[in-house]
Amino acid sequence: MIDPCAPPEAEAVFLYGARRLLMVLHAAGSIVLVGASTHHALTMRHYLRDRFIRVSTEKTWAKVVAVAYVFTFAVGAMLYPTYRYHVRGIYLDRYAPLYSGLFDVKEVYASLTLVVALGLGALAFTLRPSEERWLVRIYAVMSFLVCGVVWLNVTLGILVTSVRGLG
């Protein structure tokens, strides 16, 4: 059966045929990322009170955040050419420019926060919170920043997809 919405071969976009699988993987990565970043941020409330309980669990959450962030970001980057042409170029820029702009905001924050998420994961290997208390506040701010941006990106991603998905 021929897909009537598929572009002609001359106009094929990178990984267009894998868009649904990539979208499912991107969503799954986002679910893991929301959970891990939220758990990690909630753990930071104890750290800010100088109560260093469940340190190994906290470090595991930080590592999961870093890996899930990189995975979700990479899969999103693979989806981007299809989104750019089929969703933004053909529909959003013309009929829903506000949502096109929201997606740009989402991408900027996601790109900038990638470095913070990687730093959070790296610090999880070396940080000794009871000995390096001066670093705990910075570590907590990094956790809160990553968690906030993840929630923002998930919310904006759902909003944009509700207007026009990849199909």
| Through-space distance between the first and last CA atoms of the chain, rounded to whole angstroms | 16
Residues 6+ apart with CB under 8 A from 12: none
Task: Yes or no: say if 66 and 118 are a contact pair by the CB < 8 Å rule.
Answer: yes
User: What does residue 53 show for φ and ψ, rounded to 5 degrees?
Assistant: -105, 150
pLDDT in tens, 26-84: 999 999 999 999 999 999 999 888 888 888 899 999 999 999 999 999 999 999 998 88
d(CA 148, CA 63): 17
pLDDT in tens, 95-140: 999 999 999 999 999 999 999 999 999 999 999 988 888 899 999 9
pTM of the model: 0.90
d(CA 69, CA 55): 21
